[in-house]
A and B are shown apart, each in its own frame.
Chain A
Amino acid sequence: NAGVMQNPRHLVRRRGQEARLRCSPMKGHSHVYWYRQLPEEGLKFMVYLQKENIIDESGMPKERFSAEFPKEGPSILRIQQVVRGDSAAYFCASSPGQLSEAFFGQGTRLTVV
């Protein structure tokens, strides 16, 4: 089991471009969480998804951000028209379900220039 895989590890985008962050959960895990971590800060919840469903997106900005977890393929966090304030580390975590350990990926470090 390769663990939670995120790619790319580092992503540089110019202001106004789109950023796509990918997360492949561990085998057998159907729950995916996305978190944002600013430098020297904690993990801020963004969205919680199960296959083909968004369960809770209360932590995600209403504009420019979207997430999906299709039946096949990785979960995608999409940020449109990026701004400097979007620069952060984005972690995804997966779990098999109820009250279980969530395993984190290595994160994607997004830099907006």
Chain B
Amino acid sequence: GENVEQHPSTLSVQEGDSAVIKCTYSDSASNYFPWYKQELGKRPQLIIDIRSNVGEKKDQRIAVTLNKTAKHFSLHITETQPEDSAVYFCAAAQYSGAGSYQLTFGKGTKLSVIP
């Protein structure tokens, strides 16, 4: 099955700096890559996603890049703010038969933004 590796597991940045989280995946057939943010005690929520037909997608301070050849994708957060502090999960969707896909998640990155 799919294996998603995520690094780093913890990341501390000064407010205003950029944060980068990287993920690799093993199944070359995976073609949908969402990123989720989970604040303490809350549910994971989608913040951005990318499909395999594009290499980069941006939404205000958040951007995601995808390199299908190398099988890795990254989350970039610019001008970080204290409210960006959370655990971030990457995921890769792979075909699971009968026209359906399942999501496999990385282990998460705990981001701390220091004021």
A residues with CB within 8 A of B:
31, 33, 35, 41-45, 48, 50, 53, 55-56, 58, 91, 93, 97-99, 101-107
Q: State the CA gap A48–B102 with chains docked (Å).
A: 7
* A42:B96 contact, CB within 8 angstroms: no
Taking residues whose C-beta sits less than 8 angstroms from the other chain, chain B's interface range is: 20 to 34
* B44:A43 contact, CB within 8 angstroms: yes
Q: Count of A-B contacts with CB under 8 A?
A: 65
- Indicate whether A56 sits within 8 Å of B96 (C-beta atoms), given known contacts A41-B108, A104-B44, A105-B43: yes
Q: State the CA gap A42–B109 with chains docked (Å).
A: 9
* A35:B43 contact, CB within 8 angstroms: no
- Indicate whether A55 sits within 8 Å of B100 (C-beta atoms), given known contacts A99-B93, A102-B34: yes
Tell me the B93-110 residues at the A interface (CB within 8 Å).
93, 96-108
Contact pick for A43, options B34, B89, B99, B100, CB 8 Å: B89
Tell me the dominant secondary structure on chain B's binding face: strand
How far, in Å, is A95 (CB) from chain B's closest CB?
8
Q: Would you mind naming 10 contact pairs between A and B with Cβ atoms under 8 Å apart?
A: A41-B107, A42-B89, A42-B106, A45-B102, A45-B104, A48-B100, A55-B97, A98-B100, A102-B34, A104-B36
Q: State the CA gap A98–B102 with chains docked (Å).
A: 9
Tell me the B32-83 residues at the A interface (CB within 8 Å).
32, 34, 36, 42-46, 49, 51
Q: State the CA gap A83–B34 with chains docked (Å).
A: 33
Q: Which residues of A contact B100 (CB under 8 A)?
A: 31, 48, 50, 55, 97-98
Q: State the CA gap A56–B101 with chains docked (Å).
A: 10
Q: State the CA gap A53–B30 with chains docked (Å).
A: 23
Q: State the CA gap A101–B42 with chains docked (Å).
A: 18
Q: State the CA gap A20–B106 with chains docked (Å).
A: 27
Q: Is B115 an interface residue (CB 8 A)?
A: no
A interface footprint on B1-42 (CB within 8 Å = 1, 0 otherwise): 100001000000000000000000000000110101000001
* B101:A98 contact, CB within 8 angstroms: yes
* CB-nearest residue of chain B to A42: B107
